[in-house]
Amino acid sequence: MRTVKATPLPAPLITHPQQLGALVRAVRTASGLTLEETALSVKVAKQTLQNLETGTGTVSLALAFKVMNGLGIHLTWQTPPDAGGPGGAGAA
């Protein structure tokens, strides 16, 4: 069995594909999973997972969410201050 070295978690604010990929990689490696094991368990191609983790290539939003859900990653959102809603105008 191959040993997986844990990758540190990125900053909590994600604004670029590379940052989302870093989060996916950090969660995967913290779980001790290889690319191959994760790709098999969430039923995506290894290359797709690798592209997601590096923020390169084209990975559909549906596949990104499939991987994130498979790893237990859940996203929250915040609106701009002038948009209203949570974190926006009128938010407590």
- Classify 53 as helix, strand or coil: helix
Which residues form the domain of 26?
Answer: 17-71
Residue at 4 is within a domain: no
d(CA 55, CA 18): 4
Residue at 7 is within a domain: no
Residue at 83 is within a domain: no
Structure confidence at residue 60 (pLDDT):
94
Residue at 23 is within a domain: yes
**Structural domains of the chain, count:** 1
Query: Residue 24's Cα: distance from chain center in Å?
Result: 4
Task: Determine whether 3 is exposed, middle or buried from the number of CB atoms within 10 Å of its CB (0-12, 13-18, 19+).
Answer: exposed
Residue at 67 is within a domain: yes
pLDDT along the chain (92 residues), means of 10: 83 89 97 96 97 93 96 89 65 47
Residue at 27 is within a domain: yes
> 60: which residues sit within 8 A by CB, 6+ positions away?
none
Structure confidence at residue 91 (pLDDT):
47
CATH of the domain at 28: 1.10.260.40
> 32: which residues sit within 8 A by CB, 6+ positions away?
4
Structure confidence at residue 89 (pLDDT):
52
Residue at 53 is within a domain: yes
Residue at 86 is within a domain: no
